């Protein structure tokens, strides 16, 4: 099977990463919302922001996409790189959010082999498995889908949509931060 090789300039790569960020942040929010609904039996906005996105998933996916591209097709390496990278990222995100806002958005204190309730072995294993799924299954599908959509949308409209998404996120970040800093 031949793969299409597309040479992209730096601006196109940045746009792609922004699109991936928003895609995975939205997917993360959907997953968190479904999980919360199953646990609590009602809608719970599990994110820090008002909008339907969890940036930790967007950033986490970008980190994994960048780190795992050199080990694609090697599931054991993918697992360990993803588990370690996302565990470190999750710990740092938890710590930073707590320092800034004095709140914890997740707490694994009751989980076996946890570190200050910020990360746990069970979730590290889950992140490793999700990393394999992301790189081997999900991201290739997302890449192809986004490429198809981009081909159908005029370049300038795609740029406008991306600018609006970034502005929306920044405004949301501002208002959400004010809400939690009170």
Q: Is residue 48 a part of any domain in this protein? A: yes
Q: What is the tally of structural domains in the chain? A: 1
Q: Is residue 144 a part of any domain in this protein? A: yes
pTM: 0.86
Strand partners, 119: 115
pLDDT per residue over 124-134, tens digit each? Answer: 999 999 999 99
Q: Is residue 113 a part of any domain in this protein? A: yes
Residue 109's pLDDT is 94
Domain with 17 in it:
10-158
Q: Is residue 16 a part of any domain in this protein? A: yes
pLDDT per residue over 27-75, tens digit each? Answer: 999 998 998 899 889 888 777 889 999 999 999 999 999 999 889 999 9
Q: Is residue 175 a part of any domain in this protein? A: no
Q: Is residue 109 a part of any domain in this protein? A: yes
Q: Is residue 182 a part of any domain in this protein? A: no
Q: Is residue 168 a part of any domain in this protein? A: no
The overall average pLDDT reported for the chain is 90
pLDDT per residue over 101-126, tens digit each? Answer: 888 888 999 999 999 999 999 999 99
Give the model's confidence band at 181: pLDDT under 50 very low, under 70 low, under 90 confident, else very high: confident
122 in Cβ contact with 111 (< 8 Å): yes
Q: How far is Cα 69 from Cα 88, in angstroms, rounded to an integer?
A: 19
Terminal Cα-to-Cα distance of the chain (whole angstroms): 56
DSSP line for 27-85: HHHHHHHHHHHHHHSS----SSSSSS--HHHHHHHHHHHHHHGGGTT-HHHHHHHHHHH
Closest CA to 181 of 48, 47, 54, 89: 48
Q: State yes or no: pLDDT of 26 exceeds 90.
A: yes
Q: How far is Cα 102 from Cα 26, in angstroms, rounded to an integer?
A: 25
């Amino acid at each position: 099977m031949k793969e299409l090789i597309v040479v992209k300039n730096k601006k196109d790569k940045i746009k792609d990463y922004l699109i991936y960020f928003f895609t995975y942040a939205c997917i993360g929010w959907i997953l968190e919302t479904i999980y919360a609904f199953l646990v609590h039996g009602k809608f719970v906005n599990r994110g820090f922001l008002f909008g339907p996105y969890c940036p930790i998933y967007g950033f986490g996916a970008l980190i994994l996409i960048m780190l795992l591209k050199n080990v694609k097709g090697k599931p054991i390496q993918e697992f360990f790189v993803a588990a370690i990278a996302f565990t470190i990222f999750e710990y740092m995100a938890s710590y930073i959010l707590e320092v800034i806002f004095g709140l914890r958005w997740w707490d694994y204190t009751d989980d076996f082999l946890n570190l200050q309730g910020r990360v746990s072995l069970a979730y590290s294993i889950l992140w490793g498995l999700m990393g394999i799924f992301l790189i081997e299954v999900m991201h290739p599908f997302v890449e192809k889908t986004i490429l198809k959509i981009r081909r159908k949308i005029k370049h300038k409209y795609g740029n406008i949509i991306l600018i609006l998404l970034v502005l929306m996120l920044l405004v949301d970040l501002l208002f959400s931060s004010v809400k939690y800093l009170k």
